[in-house]
Amino acid sequence: MKFLITGGAGFIGSNLASHFVKVGHAVTVFDNFSRRGSESNLAWLRETAGDAFAVVRDDIRNADAIATAARGQDVILHMAGQVAVTTSVNDPRADFEANALGTFNVLEAARAAGTQPIVMYASTNKVYGGMEAARIVEADGRYGFADMPQGVAETWPLDFHSPYGCSKGTGDQYVRDYHRIYDLPTVVFRQSAIYGPRQFGVEDQGWLAFFAICVTVGRRFTIYGDGKQVRDLLHIDDLVQAYDAAIRNIDKTAGQVFNIGGGPERSLSVWTETRPLLEGLAGKSLEVNFGDWRPGDQKVYISDIRKAQAELGWTPQIGPAAGLKTLWDWTQANKHLFR
């Protein structure tokens, strides 16, 4: 099949591109190369895949460019967009244009592609907002849900917070509706805390990679809140398998929304549980700064992944300790990329 991957030189996009090239598909990477690390990721793809994929250097905000790239494609994996809440607050127009308008352009390009391509959209758990109605308990150095032992299901009400939540949520709903209105086989993945090699994490996006990079280069970083807040973690290799499974099962998955994360078994508190894992890898004790809670920072978010498990035939395989080791090994081997 012919695959178009928007944001294909990003963290998730480059890992998806590598996988689908390896299993024999024709891949086109579409990226504006504005994000740190994208050129490095492209170089890595060249090393691992040679010339077995095409590259289009352009922007999803350019409707003509994405329409041209989409023609004749069988699958469009839409990973491109603005990724940080802080950035969206500072520049909401740019955030809207990248996420909401960019996703609209991708959908219109798919509708005109002539092939009714599968469209998969990387959404976010931020579409559920602050989840103030969820009861939170604290025990053993971590927060947890009092009434949702399996985590947040897809039935939880949408509640967009921040310009980022609004723009990603707009794309989320447009992608879903283009299946209902235009019969495009679209799938939405509401993703939670994806991590792994080739992730150039920054303070407000990709926190686990950011921690690993800071420790690797000896840079002190800040924990906002008390460090007991919990996230479910999903290794990039497990995420790639989820995308593969959704495509293979498109007869069942078209028009569906899935919460995609590590689930309760692969959750960690941001510092109280992550710290000993990082210290074990670094071979030393780590000192950090602490700052006030950031607005809208959830004390706990864990994805209920039972729908994905049932309908995709997929279950995460990599636990946080083993997964963090792969991320750590990558940062250690690529220190020159972070200085």
| Catalytically annotated residues | 164
Pairing of strands 289-291, 256-260: unpaired
CA distance 194 to 297: 17
Tokens representing 271 are 């510092």
3-state per-residue secondary structure call for 258-316: EEECCCHHHEEECCCCHHHHHHHHHCCCCCCEEECCCCCCCCEECECCHHHHHHHCCCC
Give start and end residues of each alpha helix (H) in the chain: 11-22, 38-49, 63-70, 85-90, 92-96, 102-111, 162-182, 207-217, 236-248, 250-253, 274-282, 306-312, 320-333
118-124 and 186-191 beta bridge pairing: parallel
Query: 145 - beta bridge partners?
Result: 136
Nearest alpha carbon to residue 118 among 129, 106, 135: 106
Interatomic CA distance for residues 249 and 245, integer angstroms? 6
Distance CA 321, CA 325 (A): 6
**Residue 50: which residues within 8 A CB-CB, separation 6 or more?**
none
CA atoms within 13 A on the CB side of 126: 23
* Cα–Cα nearest to 82, from 112, 113, 61: 61
In eight-state DSSP terms, residue 97 is I
